[in-house]
């Protein structure tokens, strides 16, 4: 099959190299006459939208195009990884559009944390990023949380305009859209695969009619390379992303102690009075406490500590970030992996992670 075969659903060039890229078809299905890419196939047969991703350049083109339109932008962010869900260039291109923020995966935060508290926290974080949304909604695509309210808000704010849903990969964009589709399942099959050429690009967006009057455009996700999820094998991603409520693991640490997170990262408590470190990670991440003096050796010796990360065979290949943590409650976030809430009178810590993975300090969320 030559390279230029196109999906008869969305028109993307058919390929079987990258499952997350547009136009993917498994090799076994390549020889059929009318090829539907996996995304269109699933949409048509299971009413399920599968996420695809694009290169940064293509994504910026889409963002630019959206910025030039009079439309409503629905921007999905991940409560588990707020910073990791920030789209670079978002402000530059989308600053004048109307934006609704959906803060997704509420179900993984402890139930005891009130929705209003989460919402206020999100609003403060957005303000720091210079993003001024029309409104912020807390949701969980997995649990159908606040879907009616969100749907009504989209209807109210779109004012007859198109709606574009944007987000980085793994924020739960497809899970959310699938939940919407299921919730409002009056979609007729003939309408399901509709494709719109995006001006100025060769990229096609999937159109999802929500009812007779409103169309929602799903844009491909952009890969945020500073997230841990992009360092590890696709098969492992499901296990490092928390699927259910985070259970806090509480450690009273003294200085010169270290916590390892399944060998995907570690935090060294280098200076300060004994303090509380509360770790919020997926249940599949094993947390080991050790003396810092033994920590390098533990990593290099213990194969079981590690997920497969290319080239991360010794701890020396990890990158270090030092933080002077002010007194009170602060979170240290390892993008896409988890966060540690430190409650102290002021301490110093060093965080070690694979290169490219971002580490942040922020106002405590919980
Ligand atoms: P996309 O790349 O933005 O389309 O993200 P996906 O919808 O593929 O979801 C990425 C990962 O996050 C998957 O492991 C999902 O199971 C998980 N996920 C998505 N939405 C939710 C949610 O509301 N809560 C929880 N706990 N996990 C979610």
As averages over each run of 10 residues, the pLDDT of the chain (366 residues) reads 66 81 81 76 63 68 86 94 86 88 95 94 93 95 91 89 86 81 56 46 62 73 69 68 89 97 94 98 92 93 75 87 97 93 98 91 91
**How is residue 363 written in tokens?**
């106002």
C-alpha–C-alpha distance, residues 185 and 169, integer Å: 25
C-alpha–C-alpha distance, residues 65 and 46, integer Å: 30
55 lines ligand 1 (CB under 6 A): no
| Cα dihedral 366, 136, 175, 360 sign | negative
In the block, which residue shows the tokens 């916590």?
259
Residues 291 and 166 in one domain: no
Distance 304 CA to ligand 1 centre (A): 26
C-alpha–C-alpha distance, residues 131 and 352, integer Å: 30
C-alpha–C-alpha distance, residues 12 and 197, integer Å: 11
Residues 79 and 40 in one domain: no
Q: What is the pLDDT of residue 232?
A: 66
Does a structural domain hold residue 234? no
CA distance readout (Å), 70 to 195, 200, 356: 19, 16, 35
| Residue nearest ligand 1's atom 14 by CA | 238
- Tally of structural domains, the chain: 3
Residues 193 and 134 in one domain: yes
Residues 182 and 258 in one domain: no
Does a structural domain hold residue 229? no
> Which among 170, 183, 234 is the best mutation to test ligand 1's pocket, defined by most ligand atoms within 8 Å of the CB?
170
Residues 130 and 211 in one domain: yes
Residues 135 and 181 in one domain: yes
Q: Where does a domain end: 189, 224, 259?
A: 224
Does a structural domain hold residue 123? yes
Distance 280 CA to ligand 1 centre (A): 17
Query: Cα angle at 58 between 75 and 242, to 5 degrees?
Result: 45
- Span between the terminal Cα atoms of the chain, in Å: 53
285 three-class SS: coil
CB 279 within 8 A of CB 338: yes
Does a structural domain hold residue 285? yes
Q: Enter the pTM of the model.
A: 0.79
Does a structural domain hold residue 315? yes
Question: Beta-carbon neighbour count of residue 213 at 10 Å?
Answer: 9
Residues 246 and 324 in one domain: yes
Q: Which domain holds residue 165?
A: 54-224
Residues 58 and 13 in one domain: no
Helices (H) and strands (E) in the chain, counts: 9, 19
142 lines ligand 1 (CB under 6 A): yes
């Amino acid at each position: 099959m030559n390279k230029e075969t196109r999906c008869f659903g969305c028109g993307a060039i058919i390929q079987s190299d990258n499952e997350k890229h547009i136009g993917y078809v498994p090799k076994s299905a390549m020889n059929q006459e009318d090829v539907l890419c996996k995304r269109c196939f699933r949409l048509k047969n299971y009413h399920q939208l599968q996420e695809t991703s694009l290169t940064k350049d293509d994504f910026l083109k889409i963002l630019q195009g959206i910025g030039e339109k009079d439309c409503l932008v629905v921007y999905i962010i991940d409560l588990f990884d707020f910073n990791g869900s920030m789209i670079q260039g978002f402000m530059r291109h989308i600053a004048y559009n109307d934006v609704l923020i959906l803060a997704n995966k509420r179900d993984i935060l402890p139930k005891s944390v009130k929705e209003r508290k989460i919402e206020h926290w999100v609003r403060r974080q957005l303000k720091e990023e210079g993003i001024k949304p029309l409104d912020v909604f807390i949701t969980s695509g997995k649990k159908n949380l606040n879907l009616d309210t969100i749907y009504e808000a989209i209807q109210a704010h779109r004012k007859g305009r198109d709606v574009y849903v944007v987000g980085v990969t793994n924020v739960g964009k497809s899970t959310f859209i699938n939940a919407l589709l299921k919730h409002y399942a009056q979609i007729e099959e003939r309408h399901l695969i509709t494709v719109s050429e995006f001006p100025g690009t060769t990229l096609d967006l999937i159109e999802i009619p929500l009812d007779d009057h409103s169309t929602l455009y799903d844009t491909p996700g952009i890969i945020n390379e500073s997230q841990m999820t992009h360092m590890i094998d696709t098969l492992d991603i499901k296990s490092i992303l928390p699927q259910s409520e985070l259970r806090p693991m509480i450690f009273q640490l003294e200085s010169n102690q270290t916590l390892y997170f399944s060998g995907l990262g570690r935090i060294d408590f280098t200076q300060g009075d004994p303090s509380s470190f509360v770790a919020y990670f997926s249940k599949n991440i094993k947390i080991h406490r050790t003396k810092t003096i033994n920590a390098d050796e533990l990593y290099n010796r213990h194969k079981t500590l590690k997920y497969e990360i290319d080239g991360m065979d010794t701890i020396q290949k990890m990158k270090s970030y030092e933080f002077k943590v002010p007194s009170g409650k602060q979170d240290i976030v390892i993008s896409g992996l988890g966060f540690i809430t430190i409650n102290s009178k002021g301490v110093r810590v060093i965080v070690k992670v694979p290169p490219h993975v971002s580490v942040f300090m922020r106002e405590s969320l919980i």
